[in-house]
Amino acid sequence: MEKKRCDFGFWVKGSRFLNKSLLYHDTRWCKPEHRDNELFAMLVLEGMQAGVSWDLILDKEENFRKAFDGFDPKIVAAYGENKVEELMRNEGIIRNRNKINAAVTNARAFLKVQEEFGSFDKFIWGFTDGKTIDHRLKDAKEMPARDGLSERVSNELKKRGFKYAGPTIIYSYLQGIGIINDHLLCCDFR
């Protein structure tokens, strides 16, 4: 019997990226993530997604991982202008100077948060006392693009120097790392 999935989003529109989209939906989206490097990776990927489709980001994800040294924040934080120029020539990623520079800025801010809290995981999950917020959605129309939590997290990240961290990007980020679960109640991948 075929499993039921959320009936919204990029994984049901028949895109040419369908296999990657389905895998993301089924195994990563709204699933709790606690590894700092993956929390950083998702922050960069969500920022890169601004203005383009998530399908495109998923299609280029492996290229991003290689280009950005496995999303190791210590390495990315040390990037200089030569590395930024190298990334601008990399056809396998989104070549947007502002987004690339934001990834470097965010790596530096990420390291400061790690130093202050012991881990980024402790900081980001601290907004919900380590608990996933399950909106128990019955219909896709119930899902907001942002909410009070994403606004609080966004404000705190911006105060700490993070870029591409507006409340809509952060809402998507919180879904991507499992702090928010917006799988529909009918979805077998909740």
End-to-end CA distance of the chain, in Å? 17
CA 153 – CA 143 distance, rounded (Å): 18
CA 26 – CA 29 distance, rounded (Å): 7
Residues 6+ apart with CB under 8 A from 172: 46, 49, 54
Q: Which of the residues are catalytic?
A: 24, 46, 54
Q: Say if CB 184 and CB 178 are below 8 A apart.
A: no
